[in-house]
Amino acid sequence: MVKYSYGKRISERLRLVRRDDGEVFVAQDFERTNEGLYKHQAMPALVAAADVLNHENIVSIIHPPGEWNPELVWDYCDAGTLENVLTDPHIVGLNNNTRGVGLLPEGFVWHVALSLLRALQWLHEGKRDEYSLATNTPGQLSNKKTRTTTINEPDWLTILHRDIRPANLHLQRSKGTETYPAVKLGGFEKCYVSGTVSSNADTPAVAMKRPDEDRIQFDVLWQRWANWSQNGLSTSPRERPYTEGSELFDLGKILYQMMTGKELPEGDYEECLVCGRRHIVGDGIEQLPPPSPGDKRLTTEECLGLTVNIDEVFAPLLEARAYSFGLCTLVHNLLNQKRKFELRASQVLDRSWDHFGEWVEQYPDGNIFVDVYDDAHRRLANAQRLQAKLILESRGITTED
């Protein structure tokens, strides 16, 4: 049985605990004034939650509370959040991009992108990524990894997080030789378990609740989806569906801010309420139909809303090789996914994987980038080398390191 020793209390109901292998976690006390309620409702709910909050890129439940252990044990994210990094990139040892343009290094942007895509792939589709080294010549490790995904659980119901933002991306200090801290999605207060079976291609996608709505009937969601599919932008913004694509779009916004240091312009990302046009333009970003002749809204020229052309923002960054073409393409794709079911997180990962590999091969920072999977392979290779050396030595053969 795993043992925990108690450490520092960090708030009234939270304290740090150390597992017998040395790893530190957070333990949360549970109010148990109503024992019946605790046993029959809270405990089973937490056990169910622990099945879902169980992924390397999600702030995970390590131990749900049981009858004898009253505490809930969580991952301990000890390196702040992405919001902290955007405010002060130095806190996790990230210097501003050395090429003088762009905010954060490309390796860290890829690291956040792939981590969050893996978390979304799990929540939306119930699939995990698995990696193995493409080539492994003795004594030399390749940077090339092959990626596969696990088969998703057949009855997995799509889960929408509905609050993807930098403050909910938690960082955990590297435990091995990884270049950057582990990224874990937390803040599940607004998450929503849909009634749609993720793997069933015959099930039409259901329009989901907006983050500010708590209870809504399924038939209303379906109706909204039908309205939106048919009437598009003439659907009131409050009645437009929230989809898996909306969460991919949120990731695009985060990556854009990590690269440029600026948030995309405020307001609705589909059409400006003043002029009816979209204030984000660029190659691959869908344009809106022109306003109808009777539209009384201001013209684009009269509107004071700032228009951002993504291509013009990215051009100097690409020119200076601060960021690769593949990363910029990923951001373009993501910013075009709001309210769509066009791409799933696993498909975006498939498409990005080659671009990420090109960056690893072609950019100096890419050559020295180490993630947790590389670190695990390196440890394994070292252990195997050591074992081979010991066997040879036991036979009286000395080896050179």
Regarding 303 and contact with Zn ion (CB under 5 A), the answer is yes
* Residue whose CB is less far from Zn ion, 301 or 319: 301
Q: For 23, phi and psi rounded to 5 degrees?
A: -75, 140
* Residue whose CB is less far from Zn ion, 258 or 275: 275
* Residue whose CB is less far from Zn ion, 297 or 355: 297
Nearest-CB residue for Zn ion: 272
* Residue whose CB is less far from Zn ion, 20 or 286: 286
Locate 32 and state its tokens.
């148990």
* Residue whose CB is less far from Zn ion, 51 or 301: 301
Locate 338 and state its tokens.
């709001």
Candidates 13-21, 90-98, 303-311, 379-387 — which segment interacts with Zn ion by CB under 5 A? 303-311
Site string for Zn ion, 222-261 (x = CB under 5 A): ----------------------------------------
Listed residue (193, 208, 188, 209) closest to 159, CA to CA = 193
Pairing outcome for strands 72-75 and 182-185: unpaired
* Residue whose CB is less far from Zn ion, 130 or 268: 268
Candidates 46-54, 233-241, 268-276, 280-288 — which segment interacts with Zn ion by CB under 5 A? 268-276
Pairing outcome for strands 145-149 and 182-185: unpaired
**How far apart, in whole angstroms, are the C-alpha atoms of residue 55 and residue 120?**
10
- Least Å distance, CB 314 to Zn ion, is 22
- Least Å distance, CB 165 to Zn ion, is 24
**How far apart, in whole angstroms, are the C-alpha atoms of residue 255 and residue 245?**
15
Q: Is 111 helix (H, G, I), strand (E, B) or coil?
A: helix
- Quote the crossing angle between the two packed helices 106-125 and 325-334, to the nearest 10°: 40
* Residue whose CB is less far from Zn ion, 271 or 371: 271
* Residue whose CB is less far from Zn ion, 66 or 289: 289
Candidates 98-106, 228-236, 267-275, 343-351 — which segment interacts with Zn ion by CB under 5 A? 267-275
Pairing outcome for strands 280-281 and 308-309: parallel
Report in angstroms the alpha-carbon separations of 391 from 382, 397, 401.
14, 9, 15
Regarding 79 and contact with Zn ion (CB under 5 A), the answer is no
The neighbour count for residue 53, using CB atoms within 10 Å, is 23
* Residue whose CB is less far from Zn ion, 157 or 273: 273
Regarding 274 and contact with Zn ion (CB under 5 A), the answer is yes
* Residue whose CB is less far from Zn ion, 211 or 282: 282
363: exposed, middle or buried (Cβ count in 10 Å: 0-12, 13-18, 19+): middle
Q: Which of 305, 311, 358, 363 binds Zn ion (CB under 5 A)?
A: 305
- Quote the crossing angle between the two packed helices 310-319 and 244-260, to the nearest 10°: 50
Regarding 272 and contact with Zn ion (CB under 5 A), the answer is yes
**How far apart, in whole angstroms, are the C-alpha atoms of residue 73 and residue 373?**
25
Listed residue (68, 76, 6) closest to 32, CA to CA = 68
Locate 2 and state its tokens.
């795993």
Candidates 131-139, 222-230, 271-279, 332-340 — which segment interacts with Zn ion by CB under 5 A? 271-279
Give one word for 284, left, alpha or beta, with left for phi > 0 and alpha for psi -120 to 50.
Answer: left
Regarding 291 and contact with Zn ion (CB under 5 A), the answer is no
Regarding 82 and contact with Zn ion (CB under 5 A), the answer is no
- Least Å distance, CB 302 to Zn ion, is 9
- Least Å distance, CB 234 to Zn ion, is 17
Locate 298 and state its tokens.
């201001």
**């995970």: which residue's tokens?**
60
Under rule CB under 5 A, how many of the chain's residues touch Zn ion? 5
**């073409």: which residue's tokens?**
325
- Least Å distance, CB 328 to Zn ion, is 25
Q: Which of 123, 206, 254, 275 binds Zn ion (CB under 5 A)?
A: 275
Regarding 372 and contact with Zn ion (CB under 5 A), the answer is no
Candidates 139-147, 248-256, 304-312, 359-367 — which segment interacts with Zn ion by CB under 5 A? 304-312
The contact set with Zn ion (CB under 5 A) reads 272, 274-275, 303, 305
